[in-house]
């Protein structure tokens, strides 16, 4: 499995052993598009290798090693295409493969089959690259229509290609470069894919899901596929909103029994009744459940699930009903749970890190007061590393500060050095020193003053008392509410996590 991050190097994992095979070096370009590839570029094309074969993380269990050879192609933010070969616990990476015409710019989607790579871009260009002839040919150009997805149909000899735009679906025969069929509509297309060699599904913005043949004749609609049909999904989106509003009104009036008279679907009435009686017994939980069940508004769903989580009387995290919806690293969860998860992640990354040049793990160890881990991390520095001497000096500083008196003169001097570093643009160097001497609140304020709002909230969650946390988070919410930023929804979530209910009401009614 490959995990592709927005602005960071991607990671390759082995799902059989749930272990990290390799994290690509930070010196590598930022990858924007990635796809598994049946083509072995190292054998069939002449490529220029930009990196030598590298071993993955040591210590993998030999019994769990995947012996299959797999290839990946990806395109970076400058339009260059790379190939990666994954075999056992080795990765041969960094081979540049390009068509004769040069770079591939603004690519938004890519797919591969046989000797063809098809690329769609943000400007509406659809191109086919023949790997044998290394010739890039334009298939079509629809100016101003961004291509959302390209996908080959399943089947060894089936060369039909699905091309998705916002309000248009096309099918091309890639062998002949001919348009096979197309389907235009006024509503937005959310997603599409092949479900067989001659059938495809399309999900529309009105929350309908339909299956078509390759000539776009309807074979099935969502109601035929789902048995029982809970919501009568032939309704439009506005009717789904009315349905949810109706259920909310009955919940608000405490007239749940009347739902059977209002709803046309007996299956929906049965499911709501069972869950309301057995699992979701208070009003907040019921609002959260209905929001998830008819998920038409992301803000509303997150609001009710967060509200339910914060008012949950059972503080055992794995028993909280809506905890998974918030994400494992959400700043909205309580401090003890947040700290435990973050420290587990730090220890995981420490075991998998490739070199000492990546200071983010070390920095977070220091900020979270994991000084023993930070000390050991520094002492394991490679002697040939450029930062070897600096790392050992920093290890000495950590050891001396840890063993010094609370009111020693050394800490006063360290504070002066920290403020000087921050004043001269070395923000995190100064913040690390402040955290070493216990000035956490000051460190959070300095981070906020330098627009590091999320990191300040992270540090507050890790180190400050509940009252101090709320002060830091409320200041962040005020910044988000300001006219220059105007992110009121994010501010509402932050204030809700601080139990500032009156302020939340003001923003909701504004």
Distance CA 488, CA 196 (A): 44
**How many alpha carbons fall within 13 Å on the CB side of residue 260?**
5
Q: Are residues 25 and 173 in the same domain?
A: yes
In this structure, is residue 295 part of a structural domain? no
pLDDT of residue 333: 82
Residues 6+ apart with CB under 8 A from 177: 128, 137, 139
Per-residue pLDDT averaged across 39-68, rounded? Answer: 45
* Share above pLDDT 90 across residues of the chain, in percent, rounded to a whole number: 21
On the question of pLDDT at 53 being above 50, the answer is: no
Q: Of residues 394 and 356, which shows the higher confidence score?
A: 394
Distance CA 148, CA 204 (A): 14
- Indicate which CATH number applies to the domain containing 216: 2.130.10.10
What pTM does this model have?
Answer: 0.60
DSSP output for 182-248: EEE-SSPEEEEEEEETTEEEEEETTS-EEEEETT--EEEEHHHHSSS-SS-TTS-HHHHHHHHHHHH
- Which segment, 4-8, 298-302, 354-358, is predicted with the most confidence on average? 298-302
Q: Are residues 209 and 338 in the same domain?
A: no
Q: Are residues 336 and 204 in the same domain?
A: no
Per-residue pLDDT averaged across 343-353, rounded? Answer: 77
On the question of pLDDT at 196 being above 80, the answer is: yes
Per-residue model confidence as pLDDT tens digits over 423-473: 999 999 999 999 999 999 999 999 999 999 999 999 999 999 999 999 999
On the question of pLDDT at 238 being above 60, the answer is: no
Tell me if 160 sits within 8 A of 180, measured CB to CB: yes
Sheet holding 125-130, edge to edge: 107-113, 116-121, 125-130, 135-141
On the question of pLDDT at 332 being above 90, the answer is: no
Q: Residue 443's domain spans which residues?
A: 330-464
Q: Which of 222, 240, 266 is the last residue before a domain boundary?
A: 222
Q: Which of 199, 222, 245 is the last residue before a domain boundary?
A: 222
Nearest to 284 by CA among 292, 274, 273, 296: 292
The span from the first CA to the last CA of the chain, in angstroms, equals 45
On the question of pLDDT at 44 being above 50, the answer is: no
Pick the range with the lowest mean pLDDT from 48-57, 105-114, 193-202, 306-315. Answer: 48-57
Q: Of residues 488 and 13, which shows the higher confidence score?
A: 488
In this structure, is residue 63 part of a structural domain? no
Give the total number of structural domains in the chain.
2
Q: Which of 222, 240, 255 is the last residue before a domain boundary?
A: 222
Q: Are residues 211 and 340 in the same domain?
A: no
Residues 6+ apart with CB under 8 A from 93: 24, 51, 53, 54, 82, 84, 85
Per-residue pLDDT averaged across 224-252, rounded? Answer: 56
In this structure, is residue 161 part of a structural domain? yes
pLDDT of residue 162: 93
Nearest to 488 by CA among 457, 467, 510, 466: 510
Q: Are residues 216 and 336 in the same domain?
A: no
Residue 284's SS3 state is helix
Distance CA 225, CA 227 (A): 6
Give the single-character DSSP code of 152: E
**β-pair type (54-55, 81-87):** unpaired
Residues 6+ apart with CB under 8 A from 52: none
Distance CA 125, CA 121 (A): 6
């Amino acid at each position: 499995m490959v995990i592709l991050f927005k602005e960071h190097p991607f990671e390759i994992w082995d799902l059989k052993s749930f272990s990290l095979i390799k994290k690509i070096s930070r010196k590598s370009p930022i990858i924007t598009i990635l796809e598994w590839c049946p083509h072995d570029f190292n054998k069939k094309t002449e490529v220029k290798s930009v990196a030598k074969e590298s071993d993955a993380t040591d210590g993998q269990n030999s019994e769990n090693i995947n012996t299959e050879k797999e290839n990946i192609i990806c395109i970076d933010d400058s339009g260059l295409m790379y190939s990666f070969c994954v075999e056992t616990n080795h990765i041969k990476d960094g081979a540049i493969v390009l068509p004769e015409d040069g770079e591939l710019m603004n690519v938004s989607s890519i797919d591969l089959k046989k000797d063809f790579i098809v690329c769609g871009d943000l400007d509406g260009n659809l191109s086919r690259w023949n790997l044998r002839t290394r010739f890039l040919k334009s298939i079509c150009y629809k100016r101003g229509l961004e291509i959302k997805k390209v996908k080959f149909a399943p089947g060894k000899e089936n060369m039909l290609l699905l091309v998705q735009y916002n309000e248009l679906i096309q099918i091309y025969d890639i062998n002949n470069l001919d348009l096979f069929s197309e389907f235009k509509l006024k509503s937005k297309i959310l997603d599409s894919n092949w479900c067989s060699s001659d059938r495809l599904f399309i999900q529309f913005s009105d929350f309908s899901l339909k299956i078509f043949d390759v000539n776009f004749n309807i074979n099935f609609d969502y109601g035929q596929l789902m048995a029982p049909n809970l919501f009568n999904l032939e309704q439009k989106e506005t009717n789904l909103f009315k349905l949810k509003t109706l259920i909310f009104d009955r919940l608000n009036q405490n007239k749940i029994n009347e739902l059977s008279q209002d709803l046309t679907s007996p299956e929906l009435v049965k499911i709501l009744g069972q869950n309301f009686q057995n699992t979701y017994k208070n009003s907040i939980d019921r609002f959260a459940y209905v929001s998830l069940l008819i998920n038409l508004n992301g803000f509303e769903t997150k609001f009710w699930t967060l509200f339910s989580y914060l008012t949950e009387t059972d503080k055992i995290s794995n028993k909280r009903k809506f905890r998974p919806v918030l994400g494992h690293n959400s700043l909205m969860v309580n401090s003890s749970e947040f700290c435990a998860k973050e420290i587990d992640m730090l220890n995981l990354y420490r075991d998998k890190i490739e070199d000492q040049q990546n200071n983010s793990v070390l920095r977070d160890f220091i900020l979270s007061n994991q000084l023993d881990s930070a000390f050991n991390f520094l002492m394991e520095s490679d002697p040939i590393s450029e930062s070897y001497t600096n790392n050992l000096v920093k290890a000495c500083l950590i050891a001396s500060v840890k063993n010094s008196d609370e009111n020693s003169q050394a800490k006063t001097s360290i504070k002066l050095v920290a403020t000087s570093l921050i004043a001269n643009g070395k923000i995190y160097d100064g913040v690390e020193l402040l955290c070493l001497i216990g000035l956490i609140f000051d460190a959070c304020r300095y981070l906020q003053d330098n627009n590091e709002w999320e990191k300040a909230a992270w540090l507050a969650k890790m180190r400050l008392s509940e009252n101090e946390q709320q002060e830091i988070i409320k200041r962040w919410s005020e910044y988000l509410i300001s006219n220059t930023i105007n992110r009121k929804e994010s501010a509402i979530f932050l204030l809700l996590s601080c139990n500032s209910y009156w302020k939340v009401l003001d923003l909701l009614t504004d």
